[in-house]
């Protein structure tokens, strides 16, 4: 009972009254077919029982549903053509949230598709981050506005920082597309040619992972967008048109608080269990981090993490180390070629604390890593925008999905094996070969990131 009690905004949350119903939903989830799949992966009854308890804890975070479909894609040549096709078939609404919206070929093609959708009568909303999309062509954005679509530059910086309603450190790092409340794309890819291959006009610079989902999970993803838009629409810098649009399009949605558990969405056992998770400092939510800690604590066999930036916050750091100390095979792929080099240098300062406890670390050198994924025991997965660093943990708006399905976990683990082929393992021996200057430099980089990084607080004035 103590686990379920949490202090939120100064009030003690009580144990939900529907725990018995949640127990039944968890029991129904573990069908004979699923249990047989788990046993085929050499998971015994004790481990399966542990995962039943873990799934119950995850459900109580909110955002969980069954009866979903999911497709994993590991390069932009798969993602962007599917995105454009889905937008072209939209009839009701298209919602885009992205950290980077570039004005290169991929960005222009996406914008043209959005404008065409609006001309057909589809409602279109584009939310891009002011800092991440600082180089966006405003003439192109103006074309979308002139067609009747709405664009929002999230949390623009002002000359006088104290005049901002939100902290300048608050950034929208989500990568989310929702079409007609039926189909969603979520993962690590921004709208830029850097994430697409040469086949469709990109450069193939990044190695990333994205997911396409359909089903009841859309309710929770749409609700997360509603929460954010409700906050920013209150700011006087945004137009009455945005406020009206939010009010009309989301008229059937109510703001979610700590326990957002809809048992009706857990009734269909024909599809995949997916949970929408967010880290949202506006709403004081840290569900991604909590889900990661819960699943790492339950890990029995192995845990494979992929993250471009490896500076995990203290509680996740302890969860990773404790899993390895229990004998769990913990492997981490991070960037050897980084688009933010100082983060890699800072990471090298903390490698030893993980290596000494049995964690295996690999740096990708064949390509620039940008994927943010995790698989645990070959049955549970995370895919999304959340990095293992202080920015994602303390300030950014992030969205992940947690997937309890052995087949999709196997897909991610196969990709992990492919990625390992262009990686170099970091060991205590290679760390010991660093010269004195490198050690000092890595220490300085870590201190710089620690001092300049945002601290955890609610990011509203």
Tell me the average pLDDT across 301-324: 95
pLDDT (0 to 100) of residue 244: 65
φ, ψ for residue 68, nearest 5 deg:
-100, 165
pLDDT (0 to 100) of residue 461: 35
CB-CB contact of 70 with 403 (8 Å): yes
Cα separation of 130 and 133, whole Å? Answer: 5
Cα separation of 303 and 380, whole Å? Answer: 10
CB-CB contact of 205 with 211 (8 Å): no
Nearest CA among 455, 301, 270 for reference residue 376: 301
Cα separation of 426 and 412, whole Å? Answer: 22
The string of pLDDT tens digits covering residues 134-184 is 888 898 899 998 998 888 888 887 766 666 667 777 899 999 999 998 999
Cα Rg, the chain, nearest whole Å: 22
How far apart, in Å, are the Cα atoms of 367 and each of 207, 362, 420? 7, 13, 11
The string of pLDDT tens digits covering residues 407-435 is 999 999 999 999 999 999 999 999 999 99
Per-residue pLDDT band at 248 (split at 50, 70, 90):
low
Question: Is residue 61 pLDDT above 60, yes or no?
Answer: yes
Question: Is residue 7 pLDDT above 70, yes or no?
Answer: no
Instruction: Please state, for a pLDDT cut of 70, what percent of the chain lies above it.
Output: 86
Question: Is residue 16 pLDDT above 70, yes or no?
Answer: no
Per-residue pLDDT band at 329 (split at 50, 70, 90):
very high
More confident residue, 49 or 252: 49
Q: Tokens representing 11? A: 């009030």
Q: How far is CA 28 from the centre of its chain?
A: 27
CB-CB contact of 427 with 331 (8 Å): no
Cα separation of 7 and 111, whole Å? Answer: 43
CB-CB contact of 430 with 342 (8 Å): no
Q: Residue with structure tokens 């000092």?
A: 440
Per-residue pLDDT band at 19 (split at 50, 70, 90):
confident
The string of pLDDT tens digits covering residues 347-368 is 999 999 999 999 999 999 989 9
Cα separation of 68 and 91, whole Å? Answer: 21
pLDDT (0 to 100) of residue 71: 96
Length of the chain equals 461
Provide, for the chain, the percentages of residues in helix, strand and coil under a 3-state DSSP scheme, each rounded to the nearest 5: 40, 25, 35
Query: What single DSSP character describes residue 380?
Result: E
Whole-number average pLDDT of the chain = 87
Instruction: Please state, for a pLDDT cut of 90, what percent of the chain lies above it.
Output: 64
The string of pLDDT tens digits covering residues 262-291 is 777 888 878 899 999 999 887 788 999 999
How far apart, in Å, are the Cα atoms of 129 and each of 150, 154, 155, 156, 258? 14, 5, 7, 8, 26
Q: Tokens representing 432? A: 């010991």
More confident residue, 244 or 407: 407
Per-residue pLDDT band at 404 (split at 50, 70, 90):
very high
Question: Is residue 69 pLDDT above 90, yes or no?
Answer: yes
Q: Tokens representing 348? A: 């090298």
Cα dihedral: 237, 242, 244, 249 (round 10): -150
Residues 6+ apart with CB under 8 A from 244: none
CB-CB contact of 126 with 150 (8 Å): yes
pLDDT (0 to 100) of residue 251: 56
Cα separation of 180 and 93, whole Å? Answer: 5
Query: Lowest-pLDDT range, 97-101, 234-238, 293-297, 343-347?
Result: 234-238
Query: What single DSSP character describes residue 101?
Result: B
Q: Is residue 65 within a helix (H) or strand (E), and if so which, with residue range?
A: strand 64-73
Q: Residue with structure tokens 């598709």?
A: 113
Residues 6+ apart with CB under 8 A from 33: none
Cα separation of 43 and 101, whole Å? Answer: 43
Model confidence, pTM: 0.89
φ, ψ for residue 442, nearest 5 deg:
-65, -40
Question: Is residue 460 pLDDT above 80, yes or no?
Answer: no
Nearest CA among 384, 368, 372 for reference residue 335: 368
């Amino acid at each position: 009972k103590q686990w379920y009690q949490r202090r939120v905004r100064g009030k003690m949350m009580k144990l939900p009254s529907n725990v018995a119903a949640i127990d039944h939903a968890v029991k129904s989830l573990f069908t004979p077919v699923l249990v047989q799949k788990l046993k085929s992966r050499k998971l015994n009854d004790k481990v399966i029982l542990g995962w039943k308890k873990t799934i119950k804890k995850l459900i109580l975070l909110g955002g969980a549903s069954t009866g979903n479909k999911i497709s994993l894609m590991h390069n932009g040549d798969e993602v962007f053509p599917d995105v454009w096709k889905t937008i072209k078939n939209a009839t009701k609404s298209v919602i885009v949230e992205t950290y980077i919206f570039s004005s290169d070929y991929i960005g222009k093609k996406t914008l043209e598709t959005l404008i065409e959708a609006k001309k057909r009568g589809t409602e279109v909303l584009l939310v891009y981050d002011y800092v991440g999309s600082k180089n966006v062509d405003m003439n192109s954005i103006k074309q979308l506005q002139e067609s009747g679509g709405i664009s929002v530059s999230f949390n623009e910086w002002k000359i006088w920082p104290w005049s901002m309603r939100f902290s300048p450190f608050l950034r929208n790092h989500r990568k989310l597309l929702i079409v007609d409340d039926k189909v969603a794309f979520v993962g690590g890819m921004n709208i830029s040619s850097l994430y697409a291959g040469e086949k469709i006009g990109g450069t193939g610079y990044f190695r990333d992972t994205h997911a396409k989902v359909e089903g009841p999970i859309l309710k929770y993803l749409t609700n997360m967008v509603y929460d954010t838009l409700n906050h920013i629409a209150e700011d006087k810098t945004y137009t009455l048109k945005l406020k009206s649009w939010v009010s009309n399009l989301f008229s059937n949605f109510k703001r979610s608080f700590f326990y957002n558990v809809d048992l009706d969405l857990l009734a269909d056992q024909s599809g995949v269990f997916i949970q929408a998770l967010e880290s949202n400092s506006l709403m004081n939510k840290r569900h991604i981090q909590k889900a990661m800690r819960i699943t790492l604590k339950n890990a029995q066999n192995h845990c494979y993490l992929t993250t471009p930036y490896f500076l995990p916050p203290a509680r996740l750091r302890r969860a990773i180390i404790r899993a390895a100390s229990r004998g769990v095979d913990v492997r981490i792929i991070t960037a050897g070629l980084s688009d933010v080099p100082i983060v890699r240098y800072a990471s090298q300062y903390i490698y030893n604390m993980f290596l000494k406890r049995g964690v295996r670390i690999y740096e990708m050198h064949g390509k620039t890593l940008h994927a943010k994924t995790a698989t645990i025991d070959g049955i549970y997965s995370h895919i999304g925008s959340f990095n293992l660093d202080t920015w994602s943990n303390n300030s950014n708006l992030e969205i992940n999905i947690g997937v309890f399905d052995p087949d999709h976990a196997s897909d991610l683990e196969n990709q992990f094996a492919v990625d390992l082929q262009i990686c170099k393992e970091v060991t205590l021996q290679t760390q010991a070969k660093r010269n004195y200057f490198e050690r000092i430099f890595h220490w300085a980089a870590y201190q710089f990131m620690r001092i300049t990084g945002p601290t955890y607080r609610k990011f509203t004035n």
